[in-house]
């Protein structure tokens, strides 16, 4: 396994594995025994960065979420896991009532919600301190100053270590960080967005925004990260839920553009050269790029996880990386 540091403050920064394990469906679609086996294998291989959210996976059973956090809490207690494993969770996207629909009726990012949801997550996970807490979704109904101050208050209380943000526009991230800096408060240091080798269109209107996909890495966000190298980027759904390798997993209209077949061809070529799978080449490309990224992978079996773990040791040559980068 390889590792990198996230965060700048010596009091809160953490060294984490360059491959993160997503626990979204643990405790719902993935049963407890299988989830525990995947978690055990991940830690055995040196993995130290697990990701969840307080709303995972409400849509599976029509709940408010929390199943994933509670399973991770049971796993931690049964295995005696302490602070050697960083567990990140998120708040803001939990439905206000049991639901299986991705509606807009969610908790949001008010100071009251942030305090209450963080406390609930600590209870579910069985921890005194959340290692990394993300603002899961944007909430324009709440003044940004309120959200920034509420997150910083959790850090001051010692109940949260690092702060992160997901599914916000780049300008919102910068404004929140500027507000925190001006007030002398801790701000967002870890960003979590969708990103993969195949590029998703970012101009497609979403349910939340007519302006496009705020949760997808865009050229603007990449430029922002180049200008702010102290920020860490965690990339979710890097393997497109099997879309690279499974015929029954179509990519959808977001990928229906001229760059997709060209980049697919480049991937196949490099995979053949290396003897690795296409999925492994994608993960290696993300990990070793000029903007370091931490891919967040899901797994429904130990075998799936093992394929992703092997990508950590895959070193692409300069020529192979240039071939991948040039395809568009």
Question: What pLDDT digit, counting tens, does each position of 278-293 carry?
Answer: 999 999 999 999 999 9
Question: What pLDDT digit, counting tens, does each position of 142-165 carry?
Answer: 999 999 999 999 999 999 999 999
Considering only residues 253 and 178, tell me which one the structure prediction assigns the higher pLDDT: 178
Residues in Cβ contact with 108 at an 8 Å cutoff, skipping those fewer than 6 apart: 92, 137, 139, 141, 142
Residue 118 forms part of a structural domain: yes
Residue 262 forms part of a structural domain: no
The per-residue pLDDT for 209 is 75
The domain in which residue 301 lies consists of: 3-255+277-317
Residue 126 forms part of a structural domain: yes
Residue 160 forms part of a structural domain: yes
- How far apart are the C-alpha atoms of 75 and 72, rounded to whole Å? 5
Question: What pLDDT digit, counting tens, does each position of 86-141 carry?
Answer: 999 999 999 999 999 887 799 999 999 999 999 999 999 999 999 999 999 999 99
Distance of CA 66 to the CA centre of its chain: 17
Residue 45 forms part of a structural domain: yes
Alpha helices in 45-169 (DSSP H): 58-61, 67-79, 111-125, 144-157
206: CATH: 3.20.20.100
Looking at the 3D structure of the chain, how many domains does it have? 1
Asked if pLDDT for residue 247 goes beyond 90, the answer is no
Residue 186 forms part of a structural domain: yes
Question: What pLDDT digit, counting tens, does each position of 23-59 carry?
Answer: 999 999 999 999 999 999 999 999 999 999 999 999 9
């Amino acid at each position: 396994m390889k590792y990198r540091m996230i965060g700048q403050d010596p009091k809160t920064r953490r060294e984490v594995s360059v491959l993160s394990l997503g626990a979204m469906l643990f405790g719902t679609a993935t049963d407890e025994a299988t989830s525990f086996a995947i978690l055990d294998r991940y830690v055995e291989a040196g993995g130290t960065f697990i990701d969840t959210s307080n709303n995972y996976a409400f849509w599976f059973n029509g709940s408010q979420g929390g199943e994933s956090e509670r399973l991770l809490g049971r796993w931690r207690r049964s295995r005696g896991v302490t602070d050697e494993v960083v567990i990140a969770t998120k708040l803001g996207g939990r439905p206000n009532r049991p639901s299986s629909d991705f509606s807009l009726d969610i908790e949001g990012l008010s100071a009251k919600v942030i305090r209450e949801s963080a406390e609930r997550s600590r209870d579910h996970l069985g921890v005194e301190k959340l290692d990394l807490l993300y603002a899961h979704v944007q909430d324009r109904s709440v003044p940004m100053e309120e959200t920034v101050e509420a997150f910083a208050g959790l850090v001051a209380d010692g109940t949260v270590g690092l702060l992160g943000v997901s599914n916000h526009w780049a300008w919102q991230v910068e404004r929140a960080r500027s507000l925190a800096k001006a007030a002398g408060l801790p701000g967002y240091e870890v960003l979590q967005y969708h990103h993969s080798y195949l590029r998703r269109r970012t101009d497609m209107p979403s349910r939340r925004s007519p302006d496009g996909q705020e949760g997808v890495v865009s050229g603007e966000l990449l430029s922002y990260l180049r200008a702010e190298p102290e920020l860490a980027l965690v990339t979710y759904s890097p393997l497109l839920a099997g879309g690279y390798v499974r015929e029954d997993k179509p990519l959808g209209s977001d990928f229906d553009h001229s760059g997709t077949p060209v980049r697919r061809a480049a991937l196949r070529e490099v995979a053949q050269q290396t003897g690795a799978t296409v999925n492994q080449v994608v993960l290696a490309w993300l990990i070793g790029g000029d903007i370091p990224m931490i891919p967040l992978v899901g797994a429904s079996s130990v075998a799936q996880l093992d394929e992703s773990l092997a990508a950590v040791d895959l070193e692409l040559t300069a020529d192979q990386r240039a071939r991948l980068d040039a395809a568009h």
